[in-house]
Amino acid sequence: MATSRSSTSQKRLFARYLEDLPAGELSWIGLRPERRAEVVEVGSVQAIAGSGLEGDHRFENTLGSGRQVTLISEEYVGQITHFLSLSGEAVVSDAALARLMRRNLVIKGMNLEALRYQQFSIGGAIFEAGAICHPCLRMEELLGKGGIAAMAGCV
């Protein structure tokens, strides 16, 4: 019984913490029209509950995957740039790096780790954060040697 009360108390405390978080801001949107295709930057997109982002290859095709939409924070993009020693190269913009990392949404001012298993809104859409999208071997292909290590710890 004490465990249940403690768990409820922790949930209330965490809910209060989430209320105090500043609202995040969407800074970039990318869609992957098909598997392994280049990510296309778009100005807006329709998010459909249970299906994902209209125009993305995972739209209505998420069987076996919890990743209808993938997110990364702009702050992590900066961190990855630092770890890959790309900060001095004018060729690499945040948008170019986000495209290489194959995420759908780049947000800023929001702690994605704190949002796990919580509902939150971006624009007019309500999202629920689930599993972390861990970096895969594709990151080594696209970002170069050290791509996976640079992304470790990013949500």
d(CA 12, CA 17): 9
Number of helices followed by number of strands (H, E) in the chain: 5, 8
pLDDT band for position 90 (50/70/90)? Answer: very low
Residue that wins the pLDDT comparison between 120 and 39: 39
Q: Is 2-151 assigned to CATH 2.40.33.20? A: yes
Q: Are strands 125-128 and 119-122 parallel, antiparallel or unpaired?
A: antiparallel
What are 121's strand-pairing partners? 126
d(CA 150, CA 139): 9
The reported pTM is 0.77
Q: How many CB atoms lie within 10 A of CB 128?
A: 12
Q: Encode burial over 74-107: b for 16+ CB neighbours within 10 A, e otherwise.
A: bbbbeebbebbebeeeeeeeeeebbbbbbbbbbb
Beta strand segments in the chain, E: 25-31, 40-42, 47-48, 52-53, 71-73, 105-108, 119-122, 125-128
Q: Give yes or no for a contact between 129 and 112, defined as CB atoms under 8 angstroms apart.
A: yes
For the chain, the structural domain boundaries read 2-151
User: Would you state the pLDDT for residue 63?
Assistant: 57
User: Would you state the pLDDT for residue 31?
Assistant: 95
What is the average per-residue pLDDT within 81-109? 76
What is the average per-residue pLDDT within 87-98? 62
**Does 132 score more than 50 pLDDT?**
yes
User: Would you state the pLDDT for residue 29?
Assistant: 94
What is the average per-residue pLDDT within 47-74? 81
Could you report the per-residue pLDDT of 32-51, keeping only the tens digit for each?
998 889 999 999 999 988 88
- Matching residue, tokens 């969407």: 26
